[in-house]
């Protein structure tokens, strides 16, 4: 049973909603979200959508890099 199923809150500052996903804190800060000093970042639905939107270009480039290396 993970922390999300136990009801952990969103790690973004000034957000008090329940988290639905967890990611590494490095990826979340690169995407531009402000979080505390934690190893894992727990994101609510709205902030996860914001993370996906801001990191889409990076994820696409990373996918191309791995596809070409085969």
Per-residue DSSP letters for 11-70?
A: -BTT--SBP-EEEEHHHHHHTT--B-S-SEEEE-HHHHHHHHHHTHHHHHHHHHHHHHT-
Residue 28 binned pLDDT confidence (cut-offs 50, 70, 90): very high
Residue 69 binned pLDDT confidence (cut-offs 50, 70, 90): low
DSSP state of 10: P
Residue 1 binned pLDDT confidence (cut-offs 50, 70, 90): confident
Show the domain range for 27. Answer: 1-70
- Split into its structural domains, the chain has a count of 1
Answer whether residue 21 shows pLDDT above 70: yes
């Amino acid at each position: 049973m993970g922390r999300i199923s136990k009801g952990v809150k969103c790690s973004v500052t000034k957000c008090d909603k329940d988290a639905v996903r967890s990611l590494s804190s490095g990826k979340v800060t690169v995407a531009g979200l402000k979080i505390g000093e934690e190893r894992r970042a727990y994101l609510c639905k709205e902030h996860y959508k914001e993370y996906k939107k801001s990191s889409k270009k990076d994820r696409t480039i990373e996918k191309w890099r791995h596809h070409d290396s085969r």
